[in-house]
Amino acid sequence: MLCDKVHEALVQMASCRPTDQGVSFSTHCMYPSFEPVRIHIAKVKGGYRVHDGGGVMQAAWDHGRDIAAAGRAVGRHASINSLQSVEGQLAVDVPSEDWLVSAILSIANASAAAAADAIDAAVPAHSTFADRVEEVIKGIVLPSHLVRDYEVRGRSGKRYSFDFALRGASRRWLIVQTIVPHPASVSSKYVAFSDTRDAEEAEPRGLAVYESPLDDGDAALMRQVADLVPFTSLDSGIRAEISR
């Protein structure tokens, strides 16, 4: 029956995996980028804490929006939906498993709505940095050797969009990704680089470009999967990479 096929497809969309902070559950709610809203569930004293892992903040960064405006959207939707706003996350505590479904749906819908508000209303910020990175790259490689919003499929099967890909002496693409000093940005870029290191079409290590300094822990994490380059050294960094 068609209903069975639809049900099977929807079940496949949802995934639940264990993490070091509980479990992470993929919902059918979507951010404006069409990424599913992931809900995190952790056992706490007296019940469970359910939160969105800072998904609204990440969506704002991905769309080049101001983080302060995204924080205001989180606070507004927390108030509307009787949720908590905790360090940029939408969260709620429930006393037992009986309340988990309601909590998941509340957080997922509020997170998707807050992200949409932040992206529609906020002033572009991060895109300016990406534009300046692009101008540097254009001064080094031919236009035919540069792609913006380049997609790579990872080992997990998920496709990741990177800011830029360029070609030099190698036939493989060198990935260049901008990064900002925010936990959501760092973690998402780390996952993307890590999952795509074995991709046939791309170099095993790309460049993670930053302007505002990262803290030592975030910098050490990113260096595990990419070459971390300050914007002021981007020109020389790219020239060194493409000459190999």
What pLDDT is stored for residue 18 in this prediction? 82
- What number of other Cβ atoms are within 10 A of residue 238's Cβ? 24
Parallel/antiparallel/unpaired status of strands 206-210 and 226-230: parallel
Each of the 244 residues of the chain gets a pLDDT tens digit; together they read 677 766 665 566 667 788 776 888 888 898 887 788 999 999 998 899 999 999 998 888 777 777 778 888 999 999 999 999 988 899 999 999 999 989 999 999 999 999 998 888 644 444 578 888 999 999 998 888 999 989 998 988 888 889 999 987 677 899 999 988 877 778 889 999 999 988 888 888 899 999 888 889 999 999 999 999 999 999 998 888 877 6
What is the reported pLDDT for 28? 86
pTM above 0.75, yes or no: no
| Phi–psi pair at 28, nearest 5 degrees | -90, 0
What are the φ and ψ backbone dihedral angles of 229, each rounded to 5 degrees? -130, 125
> Do the beta carbons of residue 207 and residue 174 sit within 8 Å?
yes
What's the pLDDT score for residue 1? Answer: 66
* pLDDT score of 122: 47
Q: Say how far apart CA 61 and CA 58 lie, in whole Å.
A: 5
Q: How far apart are CA 199 and CA 155, in angstroms?
A: 8
Residue 129 corresponds to which tokens in the numbers above?
Answer: 């940095």
Task: Identify the pLDDT of residue 137.
Answer: 92
Lateral strand order in the sheet of 47-51:
16-19, 22-30, 36-44, 47-51, 89-94, 84-86
Cα→Cα distances 117→74, 107, 186, 233, Å: 9, 15, 23, 36
Angle at 146 between CA 159 and CA 136, to 5 degrees: 115
Closest by Cα among 243, 244, 229, 215 to 136: 229
Closest C-alpha to 239, from 165, 164, 137: 137
213, 181 contact by CB (below 8 A)? yes
Q: Which residue reads 């992206």 in tokens? A: 119
Q: What CA–CA distance (Å, rounded) separates 171 from 174?
A: 9
Encoded tokens for 176: 């260049």
pLDDT at position 50 is: 94
Please report the pLDDT score of residue 213 as a whole number: 86
